[in-house]
Chains A and B, each alone.
Chain A
Amino acid sequence: MSDTTPVVQGRGIVKRYGHVTAIDHSDFELRQGEILAVIGDNGAGKSSIVKAICGATIPDEGDILIEGKKVNFTSPIDARNMGIEIVYQQLAMSPALSIADNMFMGREIRKSGFMGKYLRQLDRPAMEKFAREKLTELGLMTVQSINQTIETLSGGQRQGVAVARAAAFANKFIIMDEPTAALGVKESRKVLELIQDVRARGIPIILISHNMPHVFEVADRIHVHRLGKRLCTIDPKDYTMSDAVAFMTGAKEPPAEDAA
């Protein structure tokens, strides 16, 4: 695998729901080490295409290649097992459980030896240490204790834990579905910084967002989705936000060299 092999490549993806074509022969490309923002009007199908990439929906046609190899995910768990993590807008956490328990939900570490093998005891010290390290790496130290329950954290802190969880386990890439939509201005800032920290660690990110200032601030490339397919991919340095909105809504034709 060379450095120029895209992390994700989607070719001619189609997904129909009855008479509705949610994804209409769309292409997709995520490159090494970049933040790719996916923007599109409501109903353009930007969530659908990302769902197809992470196995949440199974496309009717088309190929998805991860690091050059064709994959056929049947559930998000398959994608997760390959090192693809997802951060959801609605926080996928159990409020009454601790930060450490949540970070390891579904992939707990068991103790070695008799206690772990036969009594299936969790290795709490190891899990807590790992969770602490990951939060510290991303500068998330405003939590009191790793055993704090999620419900005692602010929205921004919760999303911080979700991002840290994704960063800790993703070795391919991370999908973030509107990670700042539920947050206030100050908390959004923090999460945007986190997203850039994660990129700095070499993990590529797919960022689905409605928020143009956020997209233009962090994205390396912007995938504009319109009417079920990729309209164009633009460099945020070459275009303004109003250009992007114009492409999204169809008010303006995309430049030929950037078209999908």
Chain B
Amino acid sequence: MSEANQSVQEFETATSRTDAVAEFDDPRRGVLGKLQHLLHVNPSLVPLIVLVGAIFIFGLLLGSKFFSPFAMTLILQQVQIVGIVAAAQSLVILTAGIDLSVGAIMVFSSVIMGQFSFRYGIPVPIAVMCGLAVGTLIGALNGWLVSRVKLPPFIVTLGMWQIILATNFLYSANETIRSQDIEANAPFLQFFGTKFSIGGATFTVGVLFMLVLIFVLAYALKHTAWGRHVYAVGDDPEAAELSGVNVHRTLMSVYMLSGLICAFAGWALIGRIGSVSPTSGQLANIESITAVVIGGISLFGGRGSILGSLFGALIVGVFTLGLRLLGADAQWTFLLIGLLIIAAVAVDQWIRKVSG
């Protein structure tokens, strides 16, 4: 809000220099109008409030059992995979698309990293690079089908999801690479599981990666031309094209980056569960969409902040752990998450009705 006020003031000085009278909209919007405007300017505020509120309530109910560095960092570790995948999902949804293949890309990439190391004896760092490359390639294929062949993202990624998953099972022969074998022969695969502690709180490289990734993407989306183009393409691709934005290149970059991030999530997945399992991460696509929606990013594209997705993922994590510690049936978590999703979309619709 203060930033907006400041720029209004700057504008006033700019206009008074030319001795012109600037007209302003009636500032009396009323409390509800102000709130709507505030949320419109800062779309990640709602999930942040919900997150802080949830932590506060569970902290009151559970005391130090919940409100401890251990529990807090446990939540971070539990949401790291969904958080990373949600970052990829956010990018795609900001362009008014959706990526149902994120979980499949993640698992397939992790399987490639594992199988390339163990089946072919390729040096682990190179196997990891291959996994990352395959993820990016699948993203590129998604992007090409969406941008050039003009197929709806939902259909493209629905098909790709099945194709990759089937390829994943065929290629891996449904074989799990055991945690002990990885630890003994290819510990680099578990790199994202490396633990380090800061003041009694235990972090993993995966958690750190998720946080750094979100902040880097938040910067890129807000402060670079590429980021503005992502929003513009999601908002109105034709208008963006007419303004001179290369819509095809923007979409390709988004889907490729999404694929790459999912492949990183696959690497982080090995760190998290220890083993390479072709059956893991089956719900990552739905969970990432949940995080993005709760995080206040509009499914219609062009609106929202990637920080919101992090908050969305954390909200799910806080509810899951908090309710488990309270001894509630796990179904309560799903019930509450379901309510949150609907509430989040309702808030999005309300914010979009801008008081002009």
Contacts and interface: CB of A to CB of B under 8 A. Distances in A.
Contact of B244 (A105, A121, A144): A105
Interface stretch (A66-74, A87-95, A227-235): A87-95
Given A105-B244, A145-B4, A94 B239 contact: yes
Contacts of A105: 228-229, 232, 240, 243-245
Main secondary structure of the interface of A (DSSP, over half): loop
Given A92-B239, A96-B231, A132-B11, A106 B245 contact: yes
A210 B273 CA distance: 67
Interface in B10-57: 10-11, 14-15, 18, 20-25, 40
A120 B224 contact: yes
Given A105-B243, A136-B14, A152 B356 contact: yes
B236 interface: yes
A188 B223 CA distance: 35
Contacts of B4: 145, 147
Contacts of A149: 40, 354
Interface pairs A-B: 10 shortest CB-CB:
A106-B244, A92-B242, A108-B225, A105-B243, A94-B235, A94-B232, A141-B22, A120-B224, A92-B239, A142-B23
B271 interface: no
Contacts of A172: none
Nearest to B43: A96
A193 B231 CA distance: 32
A128 to B, nearest CB: 7
A121 B24 contact: no
B272 interface: no
A76 interface: yes
A144 B12 CA distance: 9
A153 B224 CA distance: 24
Interface in A119-163: 119-122, 124, 128-129, 132-133, 136, 139, 141-147, 149, 151-154
B18 A136 contact: yes
A9 interface: no
Contacts of A77: 244
B302 interface: yes
Given A94-B235, A105-B232, A122-B224, A128 B20 contact: no
A241 interface: no
A153 B23 CA distance: 13
A146 to B, nearest CB: 6
29 contacts: A76-B242, A76-B244, A94-B231, A94-B236, A94-B302, A96-B231, A96-B235, A96-B303, A97-B231, A97-B235, A101-B228, A105-B228, A105-B229, A105-B240, A105-B245, A106-B240, A110-B225, A120-B224, A121-B224, A122-B225, A128-B7, A132-B11, A133-B14, A136-B18, A141-B23, A142-B23, A145-B4, A146-B7, A149-B354
A153 B231 CA distance: 19
A122 B20 contact: no
Contacts of B339: none
A107 interface: yes
Given A102-B243, A121-B223, A141-B21, 7 more contacts: A90-B238, A90-B239, A96-B302, A97-B235, A120-B225, A121-B224, A144-B8
A86 B242 contact: yes
Interface in B199-236: 219-220, 223-226, 228-229, 231-232, 235-236
Nearest to A56: B242
A208 to B, nearest CB: 15
Interface in B289-303: 302-303
A86 B239 CA distance: 12
Contact of A80 (B40, B220, B244, B303): B244
Nearest to B239: A92
B226 A120 contact: yes
Given A93-B243, A121-B223, A136-B15, A142 B22 contact: yes
A136 B20 contact: yes
B225 to A, nearest CB: 4
Nearest to B22: A141
Contact of A151 (B10, B18, B219, B354): B354
Given A77-B244, A80-B244, A147-B4, A108 B228 contact: yes
Q: Find the residue from A95, A106, A108, A133 having the highest chain B CB count within 10 A.
A: A106
A97 B18 contact: no
Contacts of A110: 225
